[in-house]
Structures are given as structure tokens and as C-alpha cells.
Amino acid sequence: MAASVHGQQQQCRLRDSLAAELRSQVTPDALVLLPFSAAYRRDIVLRSTNFQSYPQVIVHPAKVKDVVAAVRFAAKNNLTVSVKGTGHDYNGRCSADGSLNINTRLLNDVFFVVRQNKTFFGAGATFGDIIKPAVLKHGRAIVSGHDLTVGPGGCLLGGCHGALARLHGLGADNVQSIVLVTPTGQLVKASSRGVHQMNTLPNGDLDFKEGKQITPDTSLFWALRGGGGGSLGVVVQFGMQLVPAPTAVQTVTVTWLLYDSQGKQIRDIFDIFVFNASFWQALGPRWAAWSVGSVPRNCSAPLGISTGTASSCAGQAALSFVYVGDDPLAVDKTPGIRAILNYRAPWVSDMTYYSTKTSYRSYYDFMYHNADTSNYQRQFVSNVFLSPQDMNPSATGRLFTALETMQRVAAVPLAGPDSFETLGFVASLVGGGAVPAHPEAAKTSISRAFRTFAAELVLTAGGKDPNWDLRAYQAVSDAIAPLYKLYPGSYQNEVSSAEGFNRVPDWQARFWGDNVARLLAVKRQYDPQGRMVVPYGLGWSQQGQ
């Protein structure tokens, strides 16, 4: 018996007779894992290792036919269903206690129709599986997240932003079709042409030929593109628009090492170059950026740059710009980039400031060298969206107040092994440009706050020692609470919640805005029994924990 971090439900093992029945209904290459086995114990570990759930059984489908069989088995035996791709979700939503968990990792085929600028890929593929051949073989790319190890399922179904979003819209905007098994066990394709019946080939793979139209209504396709992963069925394949791969990818990173005497003076940098809508509008859609800050330990610097002493270290802040275009001289030609490279405040010295410029051979090379390949760790995060109107000095002040709260609540020592590996923030400056203006914008269930955001501000804490979990949870919870009151929107894919911590207020409106009522109507239509279980997902408030 074991309890989940999300609630009080405990799980038990699927009966042997039912497990044997399930095994008889899937193909020989499919895996059926039961609790207490070594394979099961390995499989329930998620990227955020502090979130762990205990399904009654885990199925790794080898064929699309296996997904259909598993969902129908769950319906017959009154089991809830959860869906896992690569397990990156910060809130452990890809698994659920007592459920039949479907792990799509083996469904990872990737196909390209280059003449039509389309790609089709299984829900178990990673962005690396897709982007590497797209760029290196075909000179194309897709709008994805910033990490090649992430799978497309949760990202694309929740919105998905990255370096190409300002140029080509969100990842969800570029999804053209979604093949899924509904909670009642139907294999269908949802697209702008409605919902069509789909079939499998004799070997169990997906037959690409569409069957009859079930309905011309596009509500399911609308709901899938923004409603979040795992709530409306088990996705087995995405069809997505290919975009030209940029040929001149460059990054510029400016880092400030913060000491006690300069820690507060960094705010003028944020006022000018981070929380400044005019600066971003002038920079143009081929530029994106991520600002990262940590308190209080991380004072690493390149060889030859003094980092002071641990006792005086107040952390570091960095701003990384990414150019995705075709001009190899873009860094030198862009006034905003020149301005930040040439910026000097009285307190800036060689000891507290350094910059790096990097040119990549291809877009894949850029993604590869910036992928998060760190070991799994215990993470707790939450976020708010900032609109262009919110990008002002008040936002800077609120960020630093939040960081001070995190440092105080966490009571982290400045050095030593018993400390957080992560305590700070990430500001994803990838809004604007094509994100609000994409032709598909009104045809998705992306919230207005997400659609019109200029920056996503994420607070994060974590490490590898479970003894620090409660401090991490409390630090993020206390720091984000005042920001919730000021900024009404958040990105559903980057929110953590544990029992008693960060109980996100008005979470449905926060994630989906005015789309909540229609989304819940689609949920009731396609999942009338509440079969699909996702904490903080569609219908979760009705199901409870």
C-alpha cells in the first residue's frame, strides 16, 4: 500500500485474473507491469521525483491496437485511466493512484510529408526524435518546447511555447490533426474537418486512411489544442505543420554575479531589458529570451572571473537571448542586443558581469546543446503570465519580493550539501509576435491570458534531498500567492501542487479563462463517466481527489 503526494487515495494491485485477461488482449510486444515488480518500480519514477502515484497496472502499448484494447479493458472493469509520455510533468499529472496507466513511449514513429510541410509522429516520440531528422534531413522544424527530451503530448495539448513561438505561434497552433482513443474506446481523428473514425492495420499499427465522418463538429479538436493532456482520451498520433528551420541560430547570454552590496541594484537591468514591453516589441519576433535567477548559492563563473566568497554571494541572474533566423550578423545589427552588451552601471565590474556569444551550425545543434539533460530531481514550481501592460518596474519589484520570500521561508544555507539545487526563477520571454496573431488562435482553447502574454514568470525550488521538500513547497507557495492576486493567468503545464501547498485558487479560470464552460461540456460529451483522471485537469473538480 502507498499514498500519493496529491491526496489520500491508496492503491492496490490488479487481480491476477484481470491482469491475465489484459495481457491476452494486447500484442506480444506490449508490456503489462504490476505493482511490486522491479519494472513497475522503475516506471513510476517521474522527472520530478517528489511526485509519485501508484497505478493498479501500467501498460506500454507497442501498437495503436494495444491502446484501444487497454482503454476498453479499463471501461469494462470500471478503472480510471491516466496517460504518460516522457513523464516530465511538474505536477505528476501523467499518472494517478489506482488507475490503469498507459505509457505511450513505444509509439514513437515519425513520418514526414515534406512537399506538404507536414509531419506525423507518435505520442511517445520526443521532440528530439522529431526535430533532429526534420532539421538535418529536410531543413524544417516544428514549434516545440525548449527541451529535446520532452515528449509532445502534454506540451502540445497544453499550448507549448519555445524559441520559435514568436515567429510561428504556439505549438498547439501548428497541430493539424490528433488521433486518439476516446474514453469509450473509439479510435478517432480530430481535425479542422471534424471527427473521423480511424482503424488499425492487421499488424496493429494505425491505418492512415480516414474512415467515415462521425461529426463535422470541431469542438473536440478545439478542446484538445489547449485543454491539456490526458483529459479527453489517449492520443496516439499528432499531425503537425513543418516550418522552415532557421539557418543562423545565435545566443547571447549576459550574467551578473550578485553580492550583498549589489544584489538590489540589479533591478535596473530588469526594468530596462526584461520587464519592458517596448524593448521586446522593438527586438522583433525572431528573438526570444529566458531570464534565470538563483538565490543565494549559485555564483559560478567562467575561468578567470572572480566569484568572491561564499559568505558574500547573493546568487546570480542571467538573461539569454536566442536569435532564430538567417542573418549571421544579427547580434551585431540589433540595437537592443548591442545595448545590453554595452550596458554598464556604476556597480558593474569585471568581477560581477560577463557575457557569452554562441553561433550554432543548425537549429537542432542549438536545441541539442540547450537540452535539459540533468538528472531527475525533486522540483516544485508555479507561474503567472505577464501581459505587455504588466511589463513595468512594478513587475521587477514583485519578482524580487518573491525571491526574498523564497529565501526567507526556505532558510537555505549559503553553502554546503544540505541545500537546494534550485531556488529562484525563470522568466520565459517568448510571447508576442505570432502568438496572439496566429490564424489558428481563435480555433484553440488557449486562454486569453496565455494568448496575449509577454512573459511567463516561473518560481522554482528543489533538489535531490527529500528532507528539503516541505521547505521547497512552502517557499514557492508563499512567494507565488501574492502574484496570483495580481496576475489572473497561469500555464497549466508548469504548476506543482502538493497536499496543503499551492492549492491554486480559481485554477480552472486561471488555466483556461473564458473557455472553461465549453471545455467541460466537451469533457462530459467524450468522457461521460469521468474515466480520464488528471489532477488539475478537465473535470478534476467534479471527480475530487
Q: What's the pLDDT score for residue 264? A: 58
Question: Taking the CA atoms of the chain, what radius of gyration do you get in angstroms?
Answer: 23
Closest Cα partner for 320 from 280, 276, 275, 289?
289
Q: What's the pLDDT score for residue 2? A: 38
Q: What's the sign of the alpha-carbon dihedral 277, 278, 284, 287? A: negative
Q: What's the sign of the alpha-carbon dihedral 229, 388, 423, 368? A: positive
Contact 157, 235 (CB under 8 A): yes
The model's pTM = 0.92
Strand partners, 391: none
Burial class (CB in 10 A: 0-12, 13-18, 19+), 365: middle
**Alpha-carbon span 492 to 162, nearest angstrom:** 15
Cα→Cα distances 316→223, 262, 300, Å: 40, 11, 8
**Alpha-carbon span 101 to 544, nearest angstrom:** 19
Q: What's the pLDDT score for residue 353? A: 63
Q: Give rounded-to-5 percent helix, strand, coil for the chain.
A: 35, 25, 40
Closest Cα partner for 125 from 97, 148, 102, 92?
148
Number of helices (H) and strands (E) in the chain: give both, helices first.
19, 22
The single-letter code of the amino acid at 147 is D
Contact 422, 462 (CB under 8 A): yes
H or E element that contains 408: helix 393-410
- Which residue intervals of 431-493 are DSSP H helices? 434-437, 448-451, 469-486
How many CB atoms are located within 10 Å of the residue 359 CB?
14
Strands 187-191 and 175-181, sheet pairing:
antiparallel
**Alpha-carbon span 207 to 197, nearest angstrom:** 11
**Alpha-carbon span 106 to 536, nearest angstrom:** 26
* 118-122: strand order across its sheet: 110-113, 118-122, 234-241, 175-181, 187-191, 194-197, 213-215
Q: What's the pLDDT score for residue 310? A: 41
**Alpha-carbon span 461 to 474, nearest angstrom:** 10
Q: Is 278 left (phi over 0), alpha (psi -120 to 50) or beta?
A: alpha
**Alpha-carbon span 499 to 97, nearest angstrom:** 14
- Which residue intervals of 172-276 are DSSP H helices? 219-224, 267-273
Per the document, the length of the chain is 545
Closest Cα partner for 511 from 384, 347, 366?
384
Would you give per-residue pLDDT tens digits along the chain (545 residues)? Answer: 333 444 444 556 788 899 999 999 999 999 999 998 999 998 988 877 888 889 999 999 999 999 999 999 999 999 999 999 988 888 878 888 899 999 999 999 999 999 999 999 999 999 999 999 999 999 999 999 988 988 899 999 999 999 999 999 999 999 999 999 999 999 999 999 999 999 999 999 999 999 999 999 999 999 999 999 999 999 999 999 999 999 999 999 988 766 545 555 677 888 888 999 999 888 889 999 998 877 655 455 443 334 444 445 556 778 899 999 999 999 889 999 998 888 766 555 544 566 788 999 899 999 988 776 555 678 889 999 999 999 999 998 899 889 888 878 876 554 444 455 678 899 999 999 999 999 999 999 999 999 999 999 999 988 777 888 888 899 999 999 999 999 999 999 999 988 888 889 899 999 999 999 999 999 999 999 999 989 889 988 644 44
Contact 39, 30 (CB under 8 A): no
**Alpha-carbon span 545 to 533, nearest angstrom:** 9
CA 294 to chain centre: 20
Q: What's the pLDDT score for residue 470? A: 87
What are the residues whose beta carbons fall under 8 Å from the beta carbon of 124, sequence distance 6 or more?
A: 85, 103, 104, 105, 106, 107, 108, 151
